[in-house]
Each structure stands twice: as structure tokens, then as C-alpha cells.
Structure 1
Amino acid sequence: MTTATLTTKGQITIPKHIRDRLMLHAGDKLDFTLTETGDVLLKPVTRRVDEVFGRLARRGQPVLTPADMDAAIQRRMAKDAP
């Protein structure tokens, strides 16, 4: 059993071996579910690229290279810059 201490701000540190096992990184989102028996389930919400690969494709949409995607991101960032 692994334990963690709750701070006065309501925060805990997830032990390293748990973070490693769940492949958690700073900024990842977590889902807490309270079961009927009072147990709490913790699940990562962040998905890996291989879990969502291909879900954004639409028929007729051109295939973009990573360089094309980087260029599109740079154009959008420049457009949104103050």
C-alpha cells in the first residue's frame, strides 16, 4: 500500500512509482471517481498520441507532414499574437 499526505491546501504528491506506472507528467489531467463502496479511482485523462492516432482524419482532407503542421501552427500563433 502506498500513502501520501494531504497538505493544508488540499494537495497531495503522487508517489514517483505511481506516476511512472501511469506515465504521468506535469500538466496531465486526472479523473477522480468515488465508487459506491467509498473507494476512489484515479485515472489519467491525458491520452497518448498512439491512442488517438487517426481520429482527426476526414475524407478528402489533405495529408499533412509534420513540417506542414509546424508551419500551420506558426501561422496561427503569429495571427493570434498581440
Structure 2
Amino acid sequence: MPTTITIKGQVTIPKHIRDSLGLSPGSSVDFAVNDEGDVVIRKVAAGSPRASDRFDRARGRADIKWRTDELMALLRGED
């Protein structure tokens, strides 16, 4: 089933494929290219580690619990 890529690089996954993989809005998927050059899409199992980006690696690293007003005062140089 041919489809068109949007200007943002998005495509619609056909319903029969979504149904066969059990995909619903918010599902995570993984794309790969096999040795024959075919694109393979896999459903990422719930709880599976996903590829992290630099923001995922930094998330949760701060060990100081700032209150918003305290942080804003610090950033603004207020005493």
C-alpha cells in the first residue's frame, strides 16, 4: 500500500499493520533496515528500554530540590 511522506517526514501506518502489531495512539515503535534494504517496524514492549537521547540521559540527575521561586531568585540575582 503506497503512502506519501509529509514535509515533516511523517507517514501513516496502515490500519491493518497497526492492528496486526497491536499499535494504538501513544505506542512506541522501533524502525530498522534489514540486510535486503527493507524497513522493519517493531512494537516496543512496555517497560523495554528505548534508545535514549541526551535529554533522557540527563533527566533525573539533579540532586537538589529547588522550589521555583528560589531558583528564579537565584537566576535573577535577587537576594
Give the TM-score, by structure 1 length: 0.51
Structure 1: state its 5+ residue gaps: 48-81
* Larger Cα-atom Rg: 2
Deviation per CA, 1:12-43, whole angstroms, max 9, x where unpaired? 01111111111101111111111122111110
Aligned to 2:44: 45
Aligned to 1:25: 24
Aligned length: 48
Structure 2: state its 5+ residue gaps: 47-67, 69-79
Shift of 1:9: 0.5
Q: 2-side partners of 1:42 and 1:19: how far apart?
A: 10
Identity of aligned residues (%): 47
CA RMSD of aligned residues (A): 2.0
